[in-house]
Structure 1
């Protein structure tokens, strides 16, 4: 089963969900705010995608960090920040057949699902 991770009010999530629905692809949606996120799940994202790729540096939550926090980011303190503020996780993260994909691009999804 395909699982998409994110927050529902994100425009990119909306586009990705619409793509999957329009193409009759069954998926589960894991809402960080409702369903939560634990260290094991976040660790799997880091292992598969790299912690620096998982961290969303374009969002308002990241931009609100102090310069010192940004300058001293490493895997350990990034993990703590993302567990505390899952909105800082780049989205969507899609897990399909034990493969992890980050972000949404129509062409990439067409390739993933052989459309």
Structure 2
């Protein structure tokens, strides 16, 4: 299991705590330090939809120029923006056996999918 995110994100902290308390041993991938590939972002977009992977509620998105925001109308443009602004990736993303299975944190969803 791999948890993708950034360590100071409250949602990532909640997810990691829940995983630990429920006996899951997860590797952590800090995409601020280790980066993220366009292939990985496209894989997540193919599973969850680019609209889910792009966090439009966060401060990173709101800080982008209106021109950049308006350019994001499809997966290709979303991935380009996310590669430049990794903090706009909704997090965490949980992969099990190399497959993305969860995005964000919802305790009931985690319990249903992982137990």
TM-score after normalising by structure 1: 0.90
| 1:99 Cα deviation from its structure 2 partner | 4.3
Secondary structure of the corresponding residue to residue 47 of structure 2: helix
2:31 counterpart of 1:36? no
2:76 match: 76
Question: How many aligned positions are there?
Answer: 113
**Residue 22 of structure 1: aligned partner:** 21
2:44–2:100: 8 Å Cα contact kept in structure 1? Answer: no
Q: 2-side partners of 1:110 and 1:101: how far apart? A: 11
SS of corresponding position for 1:95: strand
- Between the aligned partners of 1:79 and 1:109, the Cα distance in structure 2 is 26
Q: CA RMSD in A?
A: 1.3
- Return 5+ residue gaps in structure 1 as ranges: none
1:103 counterpart residue number: 104
Relative to structure 1, is the Cα distance of residues 83 and 29 closer, same or farther in structure 2, using a 3 angstrom cutoff?
Answer: same
* CA distance, structure 1, for counterparts of residue 71 and residue 112 of structure 2: 37
Contact 2:2 2:29 in 1 (8 A): yes
The answer for unaligned runs of 5 or more in structure 2 is none
